[in-house]
Structure 1
Amino acid sequence: MLKKIVAVLLTSFTAAAFAAVPLGSQSVLVVEDATGKVLLEKNANTQVPIASLTKLMTAMVVLDAKLDMNEKIAIDRADVDMLKHSTSRVPVGAEISRGDVLQLALMSSDNRAAASLARTFPGGLAGFKLAVRQKIRTLGLTQTVIEEPTGLSPQNMSTATDLVKMAAAAGSYPEIRRITTDTKDIIDIKGRKVEYHNTNRLVGAKGWDVGLSKTGYTEEAGRCLIMRFKSAGKDATLVLLNAKANSARLMDAANIRRFVAGPNEKPKVLKASVKSKKKAVKQAKRTRRAM
C-alpha cells in the first residue's frame, strides 16, 4: 500500500513539474549528480537516434586505449562523410595530432575527426567497434547501440536513461571535461592557424557553469544535448533528445536550469550583438550537418 502511495505522489510530482517546466524536446531526463535523484523525466526510456552524442563514447574508447596523443593522424578520404554529406573544415590530407583531432571531434563535433579516431584505432574500425561494445557492457547501457563513431548513422541509438549514465562515465575523464567546456581553440591545419568553436553556445555564456557538454544533430535525431552543469550550488546532468530546433533545445536547457535552481533563480537571457548573431548563423550553416 505504501509503495502505491509513493508511486502516486511521484507521478503527481512529475506532472506538476512538467506543468511548471515547459519542455519541447521529445525525451528529457534531469538527474541530481550527488544523489542520483531524478528531477525531471519525459520519455526517458524511449530509444531514439542520438547523433553526435555518440562522440562521447568515441572519446572514452580512444582514451581508454591510452594512445599517443602527440602522434600525427592524416585525415583520409575514407573519413569523409558519404552518408549525410556533411561539411567539414578539416581538409583531407591534413596531418593533425591525435589530441587535436580529439579536440575537433568533441568541441566542434567534426565528423572527419571522429571517423579518423576510429580508423586509426588499434585493429582499425573493427577493433574500435569491439571496444565500443565492451564499453557499453561495462557501463551497463542496456538500451544503447553504437555502430559507428560519428553519430551520422540513425542506427546509433540510446535512451535518456542510458545517456545520463554515459555522461557520468565521460565526466570521469579530465580530458573530456576540459575539451567539451572549451569555448574555442586554434588548431594548426597545414601550417595555418584555424579557429574552431564549441557547438554548444551555453558553454562560456553568462550565468552558466558547465562541467561537460555535447551537442548532436541529424534529421532523424533532431537537436540533442548532454550537459552537466551547476545551478544555485547544485550539480545536475541533463539529457535532451529530439528538439525540433536549436532555439527549442536552448530554451529547454534554460527552463531546466531555473527549475533546478529553485524559485529564487532570476531568469537570464542570452544576449548577442547583431554582428555575433550573423556570425552564429554562418557558423550554424557550416556545422549544421556536423552536429
Structure 2
Amino acid sequence: MLRFAVVLLVVLVHAVAPAHGHQETKDEDGPSLASVNAAVAYVDGDDLVYGKNADRAVPIASVTKLMTALVVLESGQSLNEWIEFKERHIPAPANAYTRIRIGSELQRGNMLRIALMSSENFAAYTLARHHPGGYDAFVADMNAKARELGMENTVFVDPTGLSVDNRASASDLVKLVVAANKHPEISEYSTTRYFTARFRGPRYRLPFGNTNALVHRESWGVDISKTGYLSEAGRCLVMLLEFEGKQLVTVLLDSLGTRSPMGDAGRIRRWLSTGSSGSVAAAARDYARQKNETYSETDSSVSAN
C-alpha cells in the first residue's frame, strides 16, 4: 500500500506539470519549489542564499507596482494631495476592470496603498498620469531607477504590470525590494490587511483587501509584500520577511496555482531552518489541489494582481 501511494504521488506530479508548462524540480543544494524562477537573499548580505533560474528575465505582472511605488515616493510629491482618476489616454494592455469611478479623486498616499495591497491597476495608472512630465516620463523614470539599482535584466513599459513586456529576473527583484525597504510607506501600504478608501467628487467608499494571505499571519513577519498574476507570468510573490532576527527577501515567479507561491515560501523557510528541501509528496498535493482551481482574489483587477 505504501509503495502504491508513493507511485501515485509521483504520477500526479508528472501528469499535472507538463499540462501547464511547469514541473516541480528539486535543486541539489536547495528546496523543492513549484515556482519556475526564484531568489532568496538576506538584506544585509552580498549574495543570494538560493537561486533558481535567478537571472532569467521573465514577465513579472503586478510585482511591477513595487517600482511604481518607488518612483512615486522618490518624486517628492505630496502623499496628501487629492488627484483625479482620469479616463485612460491609452488602452490597457489587458483586462483592467475597476470599481473606481472616472472623475473621482483620492489622496496620492491612499492611491498608492490600494495599488500595493490590493493591486488596483487604475490606481497605479493614475499615479503615473500625475507624475511630473506625465505618464511617459514616469515609465522612463522606472527604467532609469532600474538601471541605477543595477537591475540589468529588467525593463518596464507600463506602471501596472498588465503588460507582458514588463520583465525582470528574480535576482533583480531582490535589489528592488532592498531599495523599497528604505521607504517605510511601502512597508505600511503593501502589508495593510484591509482598507476602506474614501473618494470625493463624487463622494463614495470602496473596501479593499490584501492579495497576499500571509500578511494576515503574525508568525510570518511580512514587512513588504507584492503579488502578481498574468497567464503569461504565472503566480508571482515577492516578500520581505523577519526571519530568525534578520530581514529575508523571497522572490517567487511563475508558479502554478494561487497557493503555490505561499507553499514555496514555507518550504524556503523550512529549508533555511532545518536544511530540509521539502518533498515530492508536498509538491504533488499542491498540483492536485490547484490544477482545476478558478482564479479568485480580493484584487479589484481580473487579469493581474
TM-score, structure 1 as length reference = 0.83
Aligned residues: 261
In structure 2, the partner of 1:57 is 67
Q: Give how far 1:184 is off.
A: 1.4
In 2, the alpha carbon distance for the partners of 1:140 and 1:231 equals: 26
Q: Any idea what SS the aligned residue of 2:253 has? A: strand
Paired residues for 1:130-141 under 5 Å: 130-141=140-151
Question: 1:231, 1:126 → 2: CA distance?
Answer: 39
- The residue number in structure 1 matching 2:233 is 221
Q: Counterpart in 2 of 1:247?
A: 259
Q: In the alignment, residue 290 of structure 1 is paired with which amino acid?
A: A
Q: CA deviation at 1:286?
A: 5.0
Indicate the residue corresponding to 1:202 in structure 2.
Answer: 214
1:38 and 2:48 aligned:
yes
Preserved CA contact (<8 Å) 2:222 2:242: yes
Give a deviation string over 1:144-202, Cα, whole Å, max 9, x none: 00011001111110101111001100111111111111111111034333221111110
* Alignment match of 1:16 (pick from 6, 28, 31): 28
Give distance in 1, aligned partners of 2:45 and 2:300. 40
What are the ranges of 5 or more consecutive residues in structure 2 without an aligned counterpart? Answer: 1-25, 277-293
Q: Does 1:289 align with 2:303?
A: yes
The answer to whether 1:99 aligns with 2:99 is no
CA distance in structure 2 between the partners assigned to 1:249 and 1:15 by the alignment: 17
Alignment partner of 1:185 is 2:199: no
Instruction: Measure the CA separation in 2 of the matches of 1:109 and 1:253.
Output: 20
Instruction: Identify if the C-alpha distance between structure 1 residues 63 and 161 changes in structure 2 by more than 3 Å, giving closer, same or farther.
Output: same
1:87 to 71, 88, 97: 97
Q: State how far apart, in whole Å, the 1-side matches of 2:47 and 2:148 are.
A: 22
Deviation at 1:81, TM superposition (A): 5.9
> Corresponding residue for 2:183?
173
**CA drift at 1:218:** 0.7
Q: Is the 8 A contact 1:49 1:221 kept in 2?
A: yes
Using the TM superposition, name which of 253-262 and 66-75 deviates more.
Answer: 253-262
Residues 54 and 151 in structure 1, CA contact (< 8 A), matched pair in contact too: yes
Give me the whole-angstrom Cα distance separating, in 1, the residues matched to 2:274 and 2:183.
Answer: 30
Identity %: 37
**Counterpart residue number, 1:3:** none
- Identify the residue that residue 10 of structure 1 maps to in structure 2: none
Q: Quick one: which amino acid aligns to residue 215 of structure 2?
A: V
| C-alpha distance in 2 between matches for 1:184 and 1:23 | 30
- Tell me the residue number matched to 1:271: none
Separation in structure 2 between the aligned mates of residue 45 and residue 70 of structure 1, nearest angstrom = 38
